[in-house]
Structure 1
């Protein structure tokens, strides 16, 4: 089923519908619901066709599935990050070796560097 409803849930909804609407009005509302579902489906299909026409042939080979936000489950992302092996960055010094800083620290006895063109 498109709404992920199992058989017992559907049966329960049907019973609630019969109780709330009554058996004489239920077929009328079921028909209205079916008509509404068809209209929404047709609207979505027409929007999809119109979007493809407006975007042109350049976008026919785009994999739109990769942009689906439902595939980005935070639990799965964290689990995969925790399970992959740890790799030390290559620019980090090896254990015990101290790397020299890229620029020597400023000597307080010397005046502060000044760039007249920058001000």
Structure 2
């Protein structure tokens, strides 16, 4: 919670005894206990006030999901990429199950037409890539005024 382990706490207690002395230490310890009680009372009061204003829905909120320490950008990106992959896999499975079933009556299945088997449709083909054009020796590179 605070980040103080046992050894650090013992060291702080020894330093407090040395600095404050045995006469004033009980007085400061009681003040610290009073401060802790007051902070706890204020926190519980704020919690009750929030519950009154928001209503019973506040008990249904999963506060662990809203914890900012759980947000790891690498995990979020990985999950987003896997979701896209799963969506694409579902789409491919949906297309393969939508293929027409073979005839049941024992007739010969129709052979696929040579045009449809050889050339994929225009929607499934990737766009054509324009070949690279090399500049001739000594030719200046193109300059775009709007880009600079």
TM-score normalised by length of structure 1: 0.59
Paired residues for 1:9-24 under 5 Å = 9-24=8-23
How big is the shift at 1:59?
3.7
CA–CA separation in structure 2 for the residues paired with 1:77 and 1:57: 33
Residues 39-72 of structure 1 show CA distances to partners (whole Å, capped at 9, x for unaligned) of 1011101110111011123443222332222322
Residues 66-112 of structure 1 show CA distances to partners (whole Å, capped at 9, x for unaligned) of 2222322xxx332564697695x96xx97x8217xxxxxxxxxxxxx
How big is the shift at 1:32?
0.6
Query: Which runs of 5 or more structure 1 residues have no equivalent in the other structure?
Result: 100-119
Query: Which runs of 5 or more structure 2 residues have no equivalent in the other structure?
Result: 89-122, 129-148
For 2:74, the equivalent position in structure 1 comes to 78
TM-score normalised by length of structure 2: 0.49
Provide the aligned length of Structure 1 versus Structure 2: 91
CA–CA separation in structure 1 for the residues paired with 2:58 and 2:35: 31
Using CA pairs under 8 Å that are at least 6 residues apart, name the structure with larger relative contact order, 1 or 2.
1
Paired residues for 1:1-119 under 5 Å = 2-72=1-71, 76-78=72-74, 81=77, 87=85, 97-98=126-127
Q: Matched residue of 1:97: which SS?
A: coil
C-alpha RMSD of the superposition: 3.0
Bigger Cα Rg: 2
